[in-house]
Each structure stands twice: as C-alpha cells, then as structure tokens.
Amino acid sequence: MSEQRSCVIIGIAGASASGKSLIAQTIYNELMAELDAAEIGVISEDCYYRDQGHLTMEERIKTNYDHPRALDHELLAEQLRALSRGEAVDIPQYSYVAHTRTSETIHFLPKKVIILEGILLLTDPLLRELMDASIFMDTPLDICLIRRLQRDVEERGRSMDSVLQQYRDTVRPMFLQFIEPSKQHADIIVPRGGRNRIATDMIKSRIRHLLLD
C-alpha cells in the first residue's frame, strides 16, 4: 500500500541534454507565479550521484555515470518520502568537475509540488511508485549530443575529445540499454525538447489538477 502523499511529485526523464532541466525550470518559473514560490521546487537526480571522495581523479574519470548503479536512488527515494511526510531534507550537491559530491548540502523544505528531473528516474520502480505523473523527453539523440558537447565544454569543464569518448563508451550505450526502454513507463512523451509549449502547458494543467485532488 502506498503512503499518503502531501505533495505532488512529477518525474521528468530522458537522454542527457534532451531538455529535462529546461522544461523543469520553465514549469517552475511559470507555476511560481500562481503558487507561493515556497510551494514548488526542482530536484535533480544528478545530486544523488554517489560520493567518490575515496577515489583518485583517474579512477573517477573511468566511472560509468550513465549506469543506474552510479546513483543513490535509495537516498533519493528516502528524501522524497520524507518530503511527502512534510519533513525537510538536506540534498547533496555534486561537482561535475571533481566527479564527486561537494561538502555542501541544500536544506530543502517540504513543497506542494516537486519537479524531479534526471536521466535514469524511470528505470527505478522505487522512484516510479513515488511519482504522480511521469514525463519522457523524446529529443533526437543527435540533437542531444550537439547540446551536450556545447554544454559540457562551456559549463562542466570538459574537452571536446573527452565528451566524444564518453559519449561513445558509455552515454550512448547506456541510453540504449536503460534510458530509452524506460520510456514505456512515461505518462507523457514530449517530442522536440524543452521548448515544446503545448507539452509544457499540458504538464502545468496536470499539476494544477493534481493539486485540487
């Protein structure tokens, strides 16, 4: 039997650079105008990458970050359950440059609406069980690669060669093995990425509807 929920949890999954953060941020900004700002929040699955402080940089670079075992979904599920019970949590913070958690955490207060975004969210039955609605960003992989290349070089301290090698070795194979098949669990499949206006409006309507339940 599922626990009683005091908040609406929306899960947004899809390939890396498919537009998950963009659509999550757009929904957040637009609903914030209707709800109290303190009543809605975004949580990124990336915060739950496992700590690798005990590994050398050489070892960290070899980690497969696109395999479900790289993420602490148990902690994410535990924190979502706590938020649903009305309890605050301390969310770990992650550095893509150091490939490990930072010493900081963010104190996150309970909200009416939580938008959760991340590549592997829909692969995990524990997390799917906690979601009130699930979305899959179905952006073509070549577009995702172009956007990831640009973003990782500009924002995540990577070289073009390292992004392409990681893409060939793990990002694309893991997408095909885990992420793409998880699309079957989505309630809504969003084509064309994070600027799909009709999809964004539909998700907002669903959230409003869930809030009235």
Interacting residues toward ligand ADP by CB under 6 A: 14, 16-22, 147, 151, 193-195
| Identity of the residue, 16 or 166, whose beta carbon is nearer to ligand ADP in the bound complex | 16
- Choose the contact partner of 96 out of ligand L45E5XJ5, ligand ADP, none; CB within 5 to 8 A by kind: ligand L45E5XJ5
Asked if 119 and 179 count as a contact pair (C-beta separation under 8 A), the reply is: yes
> Cα–Cα distance between 163 and 186 in angstroms, integer?
28
Nearer to ligand ADP, 11 or 14 (CB): 14
Distance (Å, rounded) from C-alpha 141 to C-alpha 183? 14
Closest CA to 169 of 72, 52, 99, 67: 67
Minimum gap (Å) between residue 14 Cβ and ligand ADP: 6
Tokens at residue 148, please? 């990831």
Judge whether 14 is annotated as a binding position: yes
Annotated binding residue 17: yes
Q: Which partner, ligand L45E5XJ5, ligand ADP, none, binds residue 85 by CB below 5 to 8 Å per kind?
A: none
Distance CA 49, CA 137 (A): 21
Q: List the structure tokens of 147.
A: 């956007």
Element (H, E) at 13: strand 8-14
Please choose which of ligand L45E5XJ5, ligand ADP, none residue 22 contacts, taking the beta carbon within 5 to 8 angstroms, the exact cut-off set by kind. ligand ADP
State the binding partner of 175 from ligand ADP, ligand L45E5XJ5, none, CB within 5 to 8 A by kind.
none
Beta carbons within 8 Å of 47's beta carbon, 6+ residues apart: 91, 92, 93, 94
* 62 touches, from ligand ADP, ligand L45E5XJ5, none (C-beta below 5 to 8 Å by class): none
CB of 162 to ligand L45E5XJ5, least distance (A): 9
Q: Which of 99/111 has CB closer to ligand L45E5XJ5?
A: 99
Q: Which helix (H) or strand (E) holds 142?
A: helix 141-155
Residues that bind ligand L45E5XJ5 (CB under 6 A): 16-17, 20, 46, 49, 65-66, 96, 99, 119, 171
Q: What are phi and psi of 89, to 5 degrees?
A: -135, 165
Do the beta carbons of residue 66 and residue 175 sit within 8 Å?
yes
Q: Residue 77, annotated ligand binder?
A: no
Closest distance to ligand ADP from the beta carbon of 95 (Å):
16
Annotated binding site for ATP: 14-21
